[in-house]
Structure 1
Amino acid sequence: MNFKQLHYFLTTVNKGSIAAAARELDIAQPAISQQLASLERELGGPLLTRSFSGVTLTPAGKVFFNHAIKLVDDLSLAKNELSAFFTQQESVVKVGMLPSIGNVLSMPLIAEVKSAHPKLKLEISTGPSYAVKSWLETGQIDIALTYEQEMNSKLMSVEPLIREDLHLVTSASPSNPEYQHLLSRDTIAFWEMSQFSLLSPSSKDALGRLIAHYEKLTGVSLQHDRAYSGQLMTGLRQVMQGEGVMILPTSAVFHLQESNLVKLLKIVDPEMPRMVLAATNKTAALNDASAKILSVIKQVVAKEQALNHWCGTLAFAQHVSYSTAAASGSLMSSCIGK
């Protein structure tokens, strides 16, 4: 017994004849007759009395008719539920971001997506800004979290997330006397950074280009004489060992600052802000799954900013209320001097 046989049986009974059922179902009469005959053989006896005027139910057919209705209804319900289930099966959204962004967003973003959208799977890749840009342009990722210096207006649709503050990151260890006089300070002027060996990326990277821009703007040349692998964690190890300083947002180092392993001084005179963007590829339509992930990204950015893990000013309206926001002030405020 199968759904087709049940469907043909009910249609034939409701229409009163095999010919009428064939017209309703838009199939040949012999096909219906064959299926009805197979059903009757399986059940062990005739369900319909056939005549020139049409069909009528036998006593056994009357009993089976009510069961057939229930069986078809149950099968239809199961089919609809399974269809909805399979259409809501796990969708994969691939997000690329820089290590500094990944340090603050990856874990809470994964947790929030798992909680709010259990049918969505989030895949995160981290790399330098130029790599993240390339991944988006070639369709290897769906969303890029990157900086305005990497924006390509012809290929990218962007949404600003946060105008982050850049800080000078130094060792917090008293065993590094070169930086001891900085431990009691919260800010540093751009020109003062020229006193220290700077671990900085090349101009291929968005941060390297931003630093070069401020050197040109201020006329101050910084010391780029220390070897830097370009790997964030390796550079931070060098900083903690007193081998140089770095220019970074708090998102990259808040965990080390909380452990008193590094000291952060906000760069002033001039300040060094930069805009963090969520970018998607214009050549591909934004699907529902990616739109949901973008919404979660904004929520997590706002939460981490409210926790002072990411110092800067939100670049979008945030309507979600967090208990941490009340403790740390407005969601839109910056953590000056952190």
Structure 2
Amino acid sequence: MNSKQLQYFLATAEQGSITGAARAVEVAQPAISLQLANLEHELKLKLFERDFRGVQLTEEGKVFERHARIILAQIEQAKSELMGRQNNFGGKVVVGLSQSICNVLSVDLLTEIEHRFANIEVVFRIGPSHIVNNWLAENNVDIALCYEDEKQQLTTEAIALLREDLYLYISQKPQNPAYCELALYGSIPFADLQHYEIFTPIKEDALTKLLHKQAEKLKVKLKTKTGFGQLMTTLHYVSQGMGLMISPSSSTFHLEQSKQIRPIKIIQPNLQRKVYLHLSEPAKTSAAAKVVYELIREVTASNHAKEHWRGTLLDKKYALPVVDNIQSLVAG
């Protein structure tokens, strides 16, 4: 049972017909019929008598009507109280994060803030992973998203959000003849990366450190060159077919959707890294910072479900359930 079913039930009772209820709530008639049928099936009761004149409440339906009005009134009261509480949250929250994470989280996070907590202002400080780490250590940000190799340097408690997959990205139309065969690959062993020149961040960055660490384990030498400083500039160069880069899907999902670049999964081993969410010590007393902290967890789970940020979701608090079939979705 859900509030939508109760709303449609009361509209039908008030209008005396499903057609009238459909006009009143501006919903297609079959949708109302389906929800009413689901409601009666769940209650195992007949709520309406139907004839050529329309519908009339049964005795059981009249009893249920009283309860339905009380339930909807309580829901509206709860919403009003919660909105009042949300309006009490206010202030500026500074979030430190990398360019790739900002790309996948920023729009959804700001949209949720605008809709649910209008008095909170979120400011993003974007920088290389080691700089974000320093900002957190010096309490120059309220919240930070950091990577696995930096965890031991931090004294604050952290939540492991997800273990993100890393990919080799190539243009859909590579211009370099050396990439022609590579353009056909769906996956590539890590050791084979040594045959290609690849854009990487500066040497202090967590991603570059991870790549060189794995190369040392496999006793291979990577041919890397530093990107253009700005992630989007490097991605544009790659999308034009002039280069290759290694990155998580968080930085590239929009370009994948527009078919400008294509991911090649790195295997043997699968290349992944953990992303941690940190709340700075001073921010632990800030209600606004705690709100943003929770919303980041929620938005991360949502983007993982949409496959914008691929990998293994480690923080399950806001994980979205998998719908197994269309009947489950409709019954929702």
1:151-201 alpha-carbon deviations (Å, 9 max, x no partner): 245532211101000000112115443323233332111011112111112
Match of 2:140, SS state, is coil
Instruction: Give the TM-score, by structure 2 length.
Output: 0.67
Contact 1:203 1:212 (8 Å CA) reproduced: no
* Cα separation, 2, equivalents of 1:89 and 1:201: 38
Displacement after TM superposition at 1:282 (Å): 3.5
User: Do the aligned partners of residues 190 and 320 (structure 1) sit closer, same or farther apart at CA in structure 2, a change above 3 Å counting?
Assistant: closer
2: CA distance between counterparts of 1:175 and 1:275? Answer: 33
The equivalent of 1:4 in structure 2 is none
Name the CA shift for 1:302/1:191 in 2 (closer, same or farther; >3 Å). Answer: same
Q: Which has the larger radius of gyration?
A: 1
Q: Which runs of 5+ in 1 are unaligned?
A: 1-83, 329-338
Residue correspondence of structure 1 range 1-338 to structure 2 within 5 A: 88=88, 90-224=90-224, 226-282=225-281, 285-319=284-318, 321=320, 325-326=322-323
User: Normalising by structure 1, what TM-score?
Assistant: 0.66
Q: Distance in 2 between the 1:154 and 1:176 partners?
A: 42
Structure 1 segments of 4+ aligned residues over 6 angstroms from their partners = none
Amino acid at match of 1:104: V
* One-letter amino acid of the structure 1 residue matched with residue 111 of structure 2: A
Q: Cα–Cα, structure 1 residues 101 and 327, in superposed 2: closer, same or farther, change >3 Å? A: farther
* Aligned counterparts of 2:89 and 2:109: Cα–Cα separation in 1: 20
CA positional deviation for 1:243: 3.0
The 1-side partners of 2:251 and 2:204 are apart by 19
Give identity over the alignment, percent.
33
Query: What secondary structure is seen at the aligned counterpart in 1 of 2:180?
Result: helix
- Unpaired runs of 5+ residues, structure 2, are 1-83, 326-332
**Mapped partners of 2:146, 2:204: distance in 1:** 14
In 2, Cα distance between the equivalents of 1:227 and 1:157? Answer: 32
1:62-97 deviation per Cα after TM superposition (whole angstroms, max 9, x unaligned): xxxxxxxxxxxxxxxxxxxxxx99x92631111111
Structure 1's 173 and 295: CA in aligned 2 closer, same or farther, altered over 3 A?
same
Which amino acid letter does the alignment assign opposite residue 236 of structure 1? L
Contact 1:155–1:281 (CA under 8 A) maintained in structure 2: no
- 8 Å CA contact 2:175–2:242 kept in 1: the answer is no
Q: Is the 8 A contact 2:201 2:226 kept in 1?
A: no
Instruction: Report the aligned-residue RMSD.
Output: 2.4
In structure 2, the CA distance between the partners of 1:130 and 1:154, relative to structure 1 (3 Å rule), is closer
How many Å apart are 1:313 and its aligned residue? 0.8
Q: CA deviation at 1:238?
A: 2.3
Query: CA 1:129 to 1:113, structure 2 compared with 1: closer, same or farther past 3 Å?
Result: same
Question: For 2:280 and 2:90, how far apart are their aligned partners in 1?
Answer: 22
Amino acid at match of 1:239: V
8 Å contact from structure 2 (residues 297, 318) kept in 1: no
User: In 2, are the aligned partners of 1:171 and 1:179 still within 8 Å (CA)?
Assistant: no
> How many Å apart are 1:319 and its aligned residue?
4.2
- Name the residue aligned to 1:58: none
8 Å contact 2:95–2:143 — kept in the other structure? yes
- 1:286 offset after TM fit, Å? 4.1
Report the CA distance shift for 1:232/1:98 in structure 2 as closer, same or farther (over 3 A).
same
